[in-house]
Amino acid sequence: MNRALPETLQWQQQQQSYFSELSGVFPSQTSYLCFDGGFMSSDSVVTREVKPDNGLETAWPEQGKLEMGSFGFEFEPCGPSYNMNYAISRTSSCPLAAAELVSGKMGSGSAVGSGNESFKKRKADKLQNSKAVVEDDSMKKIKAYEEEGESKITGPSNSNKSKHKKENSTDTSKENSKVSEVQKPDYIHVRARRGQATDSHSLAERVRREKISERMKYLQDLVPGCNKITGKAGMLDEIINYVQSLQRQVEFLSMKLAAVNPRLDFNIDNLFTKVEEFPTVQEVANPIHYQHFNPAQEVVSETALRRTISAPVTIPDASFLDSSCFAQIQPSAAWDDVELQNLYNVGRFH
């Protein structure tokens, strides 16, 4: 549980670093970020709103006003606000009449608890203003649960008690091979108790659940910080957060690219050809700075970009630029992507 926290913190820090990068690029972001709402497609599910303006000053005293503005504007129209509400509904104290009820009674309560901690650390300094909104929402949630009462409720509770008995009996009686795979009590506890189906359907249900859990395991490997969470709801939450953060990163990066390149001429073809043209630079770079092989190639690519963007530079100038750029590049942390190096490598040999 504690190990998941640094990962999520790192992830959040990464997000924040993007925010700060972006705020460095623009002096005023208000118009842009309002427009951002149009791109998020998750509006249909979300009806709750975050009111960021009141709480912003109190919630983030340490960040610049610019970033607060950016946070606020982003959250207003978008889907992530619902997610924030969800996270907050787990961490804020009062409406956890609802959450404690949930975590107390759920079998995967420990999972929710661990999810609570990670969310607390991640969102603790954000969105305390939305507590009021969340309280109302959680009260509504409780009422909704009571209203939407199902007859299936008695069904699941009975079937849960008899589930283990059923498992044993079917193991002895059934000849299907898939039943033997199911004899794993740990995740049966954890999976949601929706086994209200009768015997004829139970096998299909079990198969389906097996498939789902298998795929969730792959997702666990993919999403960082998901290893410690065993509950389905918690894992889904992590997955949702991750997907949303990736989508947000794409938005910000495209905005950054739009800001940096007024003419949008990346000219990768030029870049690849220029890389071919400077084999000597590459060879000089390689033996000397082998551990900075990455930046060496990036330097060449940068000179190529510079060629396309600014006035043409002669080759001796290019080599001079290369050496001067080494000092700039070395402390960079962004160029540790070996795969991008491979990318450029392969591109060079096209």
Partner 1 sequence: MWTPCGMARMRPHSSLKQEFLKEWIKGLQRCSFPKKSILERKKAIKLSADIAMASARNGTTCWSRALISSAARDGSDNNHLVKQILGPESDRPAMENKAPAREASVCKKILKRSCRIRRRGRRKCGAAAAAPSSIAKHLVKKRRQILRSLIPGGEFMNEICLIEETLDYITSLRVQVDVMRSLATASVRGTE
Assess 239 for contact with partner 1 (CB under 8 A). yes
Assess 266 for contact with partner 1 (CB under 8 A). yes
Assess 211 for contact with partner 1 (CB under 8 A). yes
Q: Phi/psi class of residue 225: alpha, beta or left (left: φ > 0; alpha: ψ in -120 to 50)?
A: left
| Rounded Cα gap, residues 95 and 223, in angstroms | 29
Considering the complex, what minimum distance in angstroms separates the CB of residue 58 from partner 1? 28
Q: Residues near 128 by Cβ (< 8 Å), separated by ≥ 6? A: 55, 58, 59, 88, 92
Nearer to partner 1, 29 or 56 (CB): 29
Assess 249 for contact with partner 1 (CB under 8 A). yes
| Site for partner 1, residues 270 to 309, rule: CB under 8 A | 298, 301-302, 305-306, 309
Q: Is 337 helix (H, G, I), strand (E, B) or coil?
A: coil
For tokens 């992507």, the residue is 337
Query: What angle, 0 to 180 degrees and rounded to 10, lies between the N-to-C axes of helices 109-123 and 232-260?
Result: 20
| Rounded Cα gap, residues 91 and 129, in angstroms | 13
Nearer to partner 1, 132 or 240 (CB): 240
Q: How far is CA 172 from CA 126, 146, 176, 202, in A?
A: 54, 39, 10, 16
Considering the complex, what minimum distance in angstroms separates the CB of residue 67 from partner 1? 19
Binds partner 1 (CB under 8 A): choice among 94, 97, 124, 153: 153
Nearer to partner 1, 187 or 335 (CB): 335
Considering the complex, what minimum distance in angstroms separates the CB of residue 42 from partner 1? 4
Q: Is 22 helix (H, G, I), strand (E, B) or coil?
A: helix
Nearer to partner 1, 5 or 340 (CB): 340
Assess 163 for contact with partner 1 (CB under 8 A). no
Binding residue count for partner 1, defined by CB under 8 A? 92
Considering the complex, what minimum distance in angstroms separates the CB of residue 154 from partner 1? 7
At 57, list the tokens: 């000053």
Assess 97 for contact with partner 1 (CB under 8 A). no
Considering the complex, what minimum distance in angstroms separates the CB of residue 61 from partner 1? 29
Binds partner 1 (CB under 8 A): choice among 10, 54, 157, 280: 157
| Closest by Cα among 169, 157, 158, 161 to 203 | 169
| Site for partner 1, residues 317 to 346, rule: CB under 8 A | 325, 328-329, 332, 334-335, 337, 339-340, 342-343, 346
Binds partner 1 (CB under 8 A): choice among 247, 273, 282, 319: 247
Assess 154 for contact with partner 1 (CB under 8 A). yes
Contact 321, 306 (CB under 8 A): yes
In the chain, which residue ranges form alpha helices assigned H by DSSP? 4-25, 30-35, 52-59, 65-75, 80-91, 96-105, 109-123, 131-147, 154-173, 177-181, 185-190, 199-222, 232-260, 268-277, 279-288, 293-309, 315-329, 338-348
Binds partner 1 (CB under 8 A): choice among 243, 288, 313, 315: 243
Binds partner 1 (CB under 8 A): choice among 3, 27, 45, 173: 45
Assess 150 for contact with partner 1 (CB under 8 A). yes
Considering the complex, what minimum distance in angstroms separates the CB of residue 263 from partner 1? 7
